[in-house]
Structure 1
Amino acid sequence: AAAGALLAIWLMVRGLARSHEATGGKLSAPPPADPGTDWTPVVVIAVLALLVACVAAELLRSGWYWSGGTQVVVAVALGVTALATAVQGSGREAPEPAPSPAPTYVSPPCRSGGDSDECARSGR
């Protein structure tokens, strides 16, 4: 429980520091562009699941079946969470490019057959 609490606090502080760095310390800065997938939370959850699984194995070997079984359930839940987060992070699509700006006013073609400079002087 203590290791999980420390990992959660570390991830929260890391997230706050990362968002503060992205804005450059400004409070009213626009959100930054997508920097890509951050795999640190997935790795932390997977390590925590592995730690709980090791504790569960030791409890089961010692004859603590209820405690070991509960730890197995927790380890499986953490493993599923890590896998779901990894799949969601890797399935993220690249952002679509910004649409091109609307065209500006285009004058109608010149009826006299002259070039655009002649039409600009005539008003047509």
Structure 2
Amino acid sequence: MNENIVKTILLKNENLVSPILSTDNVIGHVSTYLEEIPNGTLFSAKNSNDPMEPRIPNGATIMIHEQEQVDSNEAAAILVNQDIKFRRIEKIAGTTWLIPENSKYKPQILGENQIIGKAINYVGTL
């Protein structure tokens, strides 16, 4: 077996219970090839909307590295009202902004929402 194939749990996107990686939130498993495998916890979720298009297609399965902070211009998985959303992060003058790639959506301040990880890879359908 190729040591660069990573198998992760696949989380549902809506109505998650705490803790996020609880078995109550798992709907399956996903195997993905990664050139470099980061240390730490990896999990996956589907992108169930279009604010990150065209960078991340609607319906893509996204591999996430569990972490509470990401750098500016990186894509993050964010917990918003117990649902997973994906946005690009921008840090401006001490404020963290959630930036959609799709221009029909407006940027938002992170506020009480929680970054749950960095989007590191995705698999989509052709």
The question of a shared fold, defined as TM-score above 0.5 by the shorter chain, is answered with: no
The structure showing larger relative contact order (alpha-carbon pairs under 8 Å, at least 6 residues apart) is: 2
Whichever of the two has the greater Rg, that structure is 1
TM-score by length of 1: 0.17
TM-score by length of 2: 0.17
